[in-house]
Structure 1
């Protein structure tokens, strides 16, 4: 039996891919403790894990980020990015206060910045990183990379100083680089979707998230997905749904006259009142493991987990996103050839229609997505992942 400590930020996009790994460890007889926010305590306790809740100063409510994180409201763009990086690093002392390191292995969320403190210790358990984000964000890429690199000191500097204050000394590395000093990164994709990183401690394990009908019941219109028309799924992810006018509504308008069936998930958001086209079907959430095999294309704001979930089933993607790590995901979509990535906060119906028609009509996108699906299928099984963790 191996004693495993799992540290994960209280966000759906982080908990979703972590939960199957925790369940697999418990099912195979290992001892698992989880440190996360109050919102997800029950999620892990139901699996049989011991849960320690983060102190209030390190916890937050992803459904009300502005209300639960003082100082966040009103910030946008790079100012918001700079604030959030500082906030992640500021949580280090509070996170460390609830970590019981009498374990064999620590599985750590890359944004759970107590990992920075752990990898610097000479005497410590093995530390493995849960790679459900693009490896080593932020790594500026794409057509505006020179501009982003020039801005990096302004964006990263405050958080780097905060890391020095939290640790009581210079960390000896850039705070974003701590996964490089871990004992391995369980990267939840395949090699074809990540830039080559010679020497990086990467273990490609494929997407871990499971999304079944047992969690998200099928809607009454599910029989309409009969394959008579290409199915195009659009989502803004699980968090950024305060304004569906960024991507979901422009997609609905863009494809209203196309011979496709548009399936939109709102994830708690609300469409503007008004008539909706006949080729639209809407749900709050849907089981991806049932939906995605039926899809001809996915339009996304660039969540790493959601994009890789689509690639698991060989579905080409159109990504429009620029917040958090979305710019990096968009760049990887274009680089990998599995779709079209736009590092933008929103897109017009005309632009969306053009990109969707491209991924539907040009075989190279689907062919490449299928190649990545084959890579993912050839990757480690969950038994292999558990062995890697408990070795």
Structure 2
């Protein structure tokens, strides 16, 4: 068996899939050390791997990013805020992340380092030495491929791939403009890598982050990612990390009502704003509850990811509609097989989970890389892209009705579900680990 370091950015959406990978590898008998955010220590230790906390310079609580990163909230959602995040939330910790990796390696000579794609200290490790003089580095893509390509629109704009030469020319002009605007980002990241002792070649940092890894494991299927004729050979689509039954809390008290609604032929609609962009539930959750309040043919589950969900909803609605139930955390492994439609702000992991269960989507999100997720839903034919993070009640009502009444969306989601089922992401990752260390 191998010695493995699993390193995760201390953000829930990054931490969760890496922890599932670490738990799986540990369960197979590999020695695993998990390097991550201190607030996740008990979670990791309960899963089995040994835990090491990131140093203070790289450790923060993603539930309150504004406290650790003053000024972030002043930047409007969209490409500008994403660039700021890459500079400061993900870029500034690079030297501390690499130092932590080397400290763990000093006492635990791992043969493999496995990190999420925005744990850039892993990229610095890969760039610091030749492959034979360092552990194998496997990067896990927990977000849409964020790279420039002649076959796609510029990243972060949420635009579909070009369909003709005129559109390609327009996209190329837009890409040049974005490259000019992002020069401060590139200079900042290069400075962070240099401070960590990594030598950065000229060229696209987006591609560099991917090509630095010995293998880049994208947590999706080819049917949910744009084809690229210039795609690096080290990218592998490995499918989605499955949701573990029982990973969340026990089903809520109203669960029998949900099952009864399903048996009665009512459509189950789940709405969520994920685990990060959920501080203001009136962007998507509350409008969805309002949009469907008068529909007797649906049963709505608002999965907020917040322990104070009831209080937040009560502050926005005089009463929860009779056909809806509000929850902080629900067992999605049990919920998705019962679900007819997911209304979401476009979290990458949640979208993958829905499609792996053949659930079509309505997507309305504008933070982080969510417009890119929404665009892929549109492109793949698995749902509707609302193209806003603040959809109106009327737009939501119409979108939900369209997806529920149009068989093509569910049929396309079912096709993708078969593609997901043909992959076993955890087994593939274990196989790659064993290839790098055949002992």
TM-score, with length taken from structure 2: 0.84
Q: Aligned residue for 1:313?
A: 357
1:119–1:127 Cα contact (<8 Å) kept = yes
SS at 2:35 equivalent = strand
2:355–2:414 Cα contact (<8 Å) kept = yes
SS at 1:46 equivalent = helix
Q: Aligned residue for 1:166?
A: 192
Q: Aligned residue for 1:244?
A: 281
2:234 corresponds to 1:234: no
Unaligned residue ranges in structure 1 (runs of 5+): none
**2: CA distance between counterparts of 1:298 and 1:341?**
12
1:233–1:262 Cα contact (<8 Å) kept = yes
**2: CA distance between counterparts of 1:339 and 1:181?**
34
The structure that is helix-richer by fraction is 2
**2: CA distance between counterparts of 1:214 and 1:106?**
25
Q: Aligned residue for 2:413?
A: 369
Which structure 2 residues correspond to residues 316-335 of structure 1 after superposition, within 5 A? 316-335=360-379
Query: Which entry has the higher C-alpha Rg, 1 or 2?
Result: 2
**2: CA distance between counterparts of 1:34 and 1:324?**
25
1:25–1:386 Cα contact (<8 Å) kept = yes
Structure 1 window deviating more from structure 2 (305-314 vs 43-52): it is 43-52
Q: Aligned residue for 1:197?
A: 228
**2: CA distance between counterparts of 1:171 and 1:349?**
49
Task: Go from structure 1 to structure 2 and tell me whether the alpha carbon gap of 1:214 and 1:237 turns closer, same or farther (over 3 Å shift).
Answer: closer
Q: Aligned residue for 1:60?
A: 60
**2: CA distance between counterparts of 1:42 and 1:69?**
25
SS at 2:101 equivalent = coil
**2: CA distance between counterparts of 1:390 and 1:283?**
41
Tell me the CA shift for residue 252 of structure 1: 0.7
Q: Aligned residue for 1:256?
A: 293
2:140–2:217 Cα contact (<8 Å) kept = yes
Q: How far does the alpha carbon of each residue in 1:204-261 deviate from its partner, in whole angstroms, 9 at most, with x for none? A: 2222142534522111111112212100000000111111111111111111122211
Structure 1 window deviating more from structure 2 (168-177 vs 213-222): it is 168-177
Structure 1 window deviating more from structure 2 (92-101 vs 324-333): it is 92-101
Tell me the CA shift for residue 90 of structure 1: 1.6
2:230 corresponds to 1:186: no
**1: CA distance between counterparts of 2:144 and 2:425?**
21
**1: CA distance between counterparts of 2:138 and 2:391?**
37
Structure 1 window deviating more from structure 2 (255-264 vs 110-119): it is 110-119
Structure 1 window deviating more from structure 2 (98-107 vs 352-361): it is 98-107
SS at 1:97 equivalent = helix
Structure 1 window deviating more from structure 2 (136-145 vs 60-69): it is 136-145
